Amino acid sequence: MAQTTPAAAGRTERDRLKAGGTLRKLTRRPEVGAFAVMMLVILAIAFSSNGNAFNPLGLKNNLSVISQFGIIATAACLLMIAGEFDLSIGSMIGFAGMAMTMMLKWGLPFGLGEATPFTAFALTLVMTLGIGWLIGFIVVKSGLSSFIVTLAFLFFLRGATEVSFRVINNSTQISGLPDYKLESWFAGIFGGQAFGWFYDVWFWLGGNVNRVGAQWVTGFDARVFWWIAIAIGAWFVLSKTQAGNWIFATGDNRESARANGVPVDKVRISLFMFTAFAATIFAACQVFETNTADAAKGNLKELEAIAIAVVGGTLMTGGFGSVLGVVFGAITFGLVANAVFFIPAIDGSYYRVFVGAVLLAAVFLNESVRKRITGGL
């Protein structure tokens, strides 16, 4: 009985989405607005850039930015569906990057020897998952708002990162590390390339050719693979497993879910750990691609992650959202953020104007969709 009722509660939203005709079902999807905006942005940028935004190099560069947004926004989406926020994601990115590069440059802590890309990443992940657990534990046991708790960790982690850089490195930046991805397969899965076959096929079909007739681009950044993997994993958990039902039930009505046997506290803590995991993956991709780290890395990424989740159809109040919508939102934000490189007439500051306008419109649209699904409740 404890497991049946939450599952039913998780299915309620899906059953409502299936009610009515095809057009009505489409208008009830939480990601419908994000898809419409994405298509408008794609068409506008393709036209304004004369197609350069989607040539081989343009596609690679755009997907590099899109995947960064997508990695952290996917984690933020699941947490928001459960009714919580994490404002520490951006600071966690900077902290994780700092931890990895310091170990790679000066060795493992406590004189345990030289660090490899794997050991540096593994120890950093243990630390960040521990911090994610601690954040969730404080939120659950104290009853404080996750907004306040994670805001505190935003400042704490950013400050700890800057202090550590200055004390140990005498600078807020570390550069000049060896190019580990050339000698380590593990570093290559974060900082190397992925899906090279896509560009090979493009070249074979007569495209993707530079001025001397050779293949122009050989693959996407590895972070694109991580974005796809995280998005598919999150979609599967949310849509196909009991854990997904628990997440929806926790965000919809926490006390009712708890009364019906949902491990609400474990769900919330696990999702804070998932955001820490996503931030660590984000940081690892940056470190092993550029062989550098900076205390300012990840600045404001927490706000962009939340904004993308909201634009993708996730409600601020919890209990409603879609990973597919986050994919659409990440594509939209990534294209607009990168548009300045393809459309010189656009000032980079307009990106923030776009974010503010689209975010406000998304909030109204999401509320309208929610009322249509729930019958105005």
CA 72, CA 303: separation in Å to the nearest integer?
10
Asked which of 253-257, 279-283, 369-373 is least confident by mean pLDDT, the reply is: 369-373
Higher pLDDT, 269 or 371: 269
Q: Indicate the residue type of 285.
A: C
For residue 13, pLDDT beyond 60: no
Read off the pLDDT of residues 114-151 as tens digits, 9 standing for 90 and up: 889 999 999 999 999 999 999 999 999 999 999 999 99
Asked which of 23-27, 88-92, 135-139, 324-328 is least confident by mean pLDDT, the reply is: 23-27
Q: Indicate the residue type of 79.
A: L
Strands (E) across the chain are located at 173-174, 193-194, 220-221, 293-294
Read off the pLDDT of residues 336-358 as tens digits, 9 standing for 90 and up: 888 877 777 677 677 778 888 88
CATH of the domain at 333: 1.10.3470
Rounded to the nearest angstrom, the gap between the alpha carbon of residue 76 and the centroid of all alpha carbons in its chain is 7
Output the CA torsion sign for 219, 222, 224, 228.
positive
Domain extent for 62? 4-374
Read off the pLDDT of residues 166-218 as tens digits, 9 standing for 90 and up: 888 888 888 889 999 999 999 999 999 999 999 999 999 888 888 888 899 99
Contacts 24+ apart (CB under 8 A), 5-9: 5/260, 5/261, 6/242, 6/245, 6/246, 6/249, 6/257, 6/260, 6/261, 6/262, 7/242, 7/245, 9/245, 9/248, 9/249, 9/252, 9/256, 9/257, 9/260
Read off the pLDDT of residues 84-106 as tens digits, 9 standing for 90 and up: 999 999 999 999 999 999 999 99
Highest mean pLDDT among 10-19, 78-87, 352-361: 78-87
What pLDDT is attached to residue 169?
A: 81
- Per-chain mean pLDDT for the chain: 87
Contacts for 348 with CB less than 8 Å, ≥ 6 apart: 340
Number of structural domains in the chain? 1
Read off the pLDDT of residues 46-81 as tens digits, 9 standing for 90 and up: 998 888 889 999 999 999 999 999 999 999 999 999
For residue 27, pLDDT beyond 80: no
What pLDDT is attached to residue 32?
A: 78
- Residue 41: φ, ψ to 5°: -65, -45
Residue closest to 76 by CA, chosen among 321, 332, 373, 249: 321
Residue reference for tokens 């009712």 = 256
What pLDDT is attached to residue 371?
A: 64
b/e burial code for range 248-272 (CB count within 10 A of at least 16 → b): bbbbbbbeebeebebbbbebbbbbb
Higher pLDDT, 146 or 107: 146
What pLDDT is attached to residue 1?
A: 37
Which value, in Å, is the radius of gyration of the alpha carbons in the chain?
21
Average pLDDT over every residue of 153-160: 95
In this prediction, residue 317 has a pLDDT band, given cuts at 50, 70 and 90, of confident
Are the beta carbons of 72 and 279 closer than 8 angstroms? yes
Q: How many residues does the chain have?
A: 377
Q: Indicate the residue type of 244.
A: G
Average pLDDT over every residue of 318-334: 92
What pLDDT is attached to residue 175?
A: 85
**What pTM does this model have?**
0.89
